Amino acid sequence: MTIQVFFSHRDKTPAFELDRFEGLCPFCALEGPQVAVRPGAIAYSELKPCLFRDDQGRYHDHDANNRSQTFTCTNGHNFEYRSFWRCHACQWTGGQTALILW
Ligand SMILES: [Zn+2]
Ligand SMILES: [Zn+2]
């Protein structure tokens, strides 16, 4: 399972997402009480962001990078949490669609 979440470049910190996510297994959440989740490795892509100003003077930050982290719950479920940046000027997300659960 991969969970994708977007947030504006103004707050390029995934702390909010991880805080909200901590301790929750999306598989167990469907079945009942939450169980402990153990965080795994964090990985970052290394693409160069495209920064530019458009005709109206708006500042764009088109950053296709993502931050991903694996998790394992005490019931043996494995899943990955992936965060993407979104341009605050035009909502560009590098072709990614918002908040997908599968
Ligand atoms: Zn679970
Ligand atoms: Zn933009």
Spatial neighbors of 37 by CB under 8 A, at least 6 apart, are 22, 23, 24, 25, 71, 72, 73, 74
Domain count, the chain: 1
The reported pLDDT for the residue numbered 23 is 59
pTM: 0.59
Nearest to 85 by CA among 76, 75, 95: 95
What is the 64 CA–ligand 1 centroid distance (Å)? 30
The reported pLDDT for the residue numbered 58 is 94
One-letter identity of residue 80: E
What is the 84 CA–ligand 1 centroid distance (Å)? 24
Spatial neighbors of 40 by CB under 8 A, at least 6 apart, are 69, 70, 71, 72
The reported pLDDT for the residue numbered 15 is 35
Per-residue pLDDT of the chain (102 residues; tens, 9 = 90+): 555 555 544 445 443 344 445 556 777 777 666 677 788 888 888 888 889 999 999 999 888 887 777 888 888 888 777 777 778 888 887 766 544 333
Domain that holds residue 6: 2-101
Neighbours of ion ligand 1 (CB under 5 A): 25, 27-28, 73, 75, 77
